[in-house]
Structure 1
Amino acid sequence: MKRGMKMKEKEIKVLRVKPHEHPEVYMLKNTLEAMQEAVGGYIDIVGLDDNVCILLNDEGKLIGLEGNRRIGSDIIVGDFFVCGSDEEGNLTSLSEEALDTYTKIFYEPQEFTKEEIEETTVIEFYTFE
């Protein structure tokens, strides 16, 4: 291994956030297959803060997953995971400080109507001309 390179963690300590539940610390295998299984489909990774991101189902709104938490003007649906990330874009374990911070942020479950979720659904089309 080259000097300065980090080994990818085999399992990462993350925060799992499910609809209608308080967040919990969760050990997630750091493989694409495990992540897809955890979110129930294709994954999307969205930056949340410096070195913190969320892992969620990319098609969650299209397949009717249940509303979970509001982040900004968006509503996240289905189970999602708050993860760390490094400068190379790899997912990493959250620090204890980040676990504490995001547990507090997402502690209270939220309820959403289907209409509220639909209002936050955006489909963008791009043309290549």
Structure 2
Amino acid sequence: MKKFDVEITETLQRTVSVEAASQEEAEKIVTKAWNNEDYVLDSADFVGVDFKTVGEQELSESRKMEVLLVQPGMYPQKATIGTELKDFQDAVGGTIAASYPFDDPVAIVYNDEGKLTGLPLNRALRDEDGRMYDAVAGTFLVVGLGEEDFASLSPELAQKYEKQFHQPETFLKLGNRLLVIPVPDDAVKSAENKVVIKPPAEHDR
């Protein structure tokens, strides 16, 4: 759906007769009289109307995208969210940042201040050899990448990253090391199979 700006131009026209020595003088006389409001055009002088589209834009308030929602202590969930900045902020609970640690056209959208504000560590990020090089704090999203912005995650990629981040993890600091421990299935928090994070209503924007 798009929004269009349409310009409406109404044309009023009246012919008046004046005595003058030349066309130029006649036009000056009529111009002066019009400026003095001697001639006031009204609906009786209407001769036509023109409609012209002067702008258009995509409506984004109803757009949604399919993502993978990964919360601490829980299995990943397929979620439907809006595409506005506020929708992403609401999903991760604060200012967002994005990282692109994988070869696939996906991004991780997370709380940019999660570690600073003490959000619980959620999942480890590992290199090709399986060694952890970082950990994401707080809830994060796995989203697809379009040509210019985030996009819905394809079913294949959703399945792949659900498997990659399937098991919740807990973290234990041992000296300078951070030990990653899988959370037992019987300790995983329960959740619905699918989450819908609705875009805000028009009056909430």
Q: Using structure 2 for the length normalisation, give the TM-score.
A: 0.51
Distance 2:177 2:91 in 1: 26
Query: Higher relative contact order by CA 8 Å / sep ≥ 6: 1 or 2?
Result: 1
Cα RMSD between the aligned structures?
2.4
Shift of 1:87: 2.7
Please identify runs of 4+ aligned residues in structure 1 that moved more than 3 A: none
Shift of 1:96: 0.5
Query: How is 1:1-40 mapped onto 2 (pairs within 5 angstroms)?
Result: 10-40=63-93
Q: Using structure 1 for the length normalisation, give the TM-score.
A: 0.79
Equivalent residue pairs, number: 113
Match of 2:5 in 1: none
Shift of 1:37: 1.1
Shift of 1:119: 7.2
Identity value in percent: 37
SS in 2 for 1:103: helix
- Counterpart amino acid of residue 106 in structure 1: F
- Counterpart amino acid of residue 23 in structure 1: P
Query: How is 1:1-129 mapped onto 2 (pairs within 5 angstroms)?
Result: 10-49=63-102, 50-72=104-126, 73-88=133-148, 90-113=149-172, 115=173
Structure 1: gaps (5+ residues): 2-6, 121-129
Higher strand share: 2
Shift of 1:64: 0.2
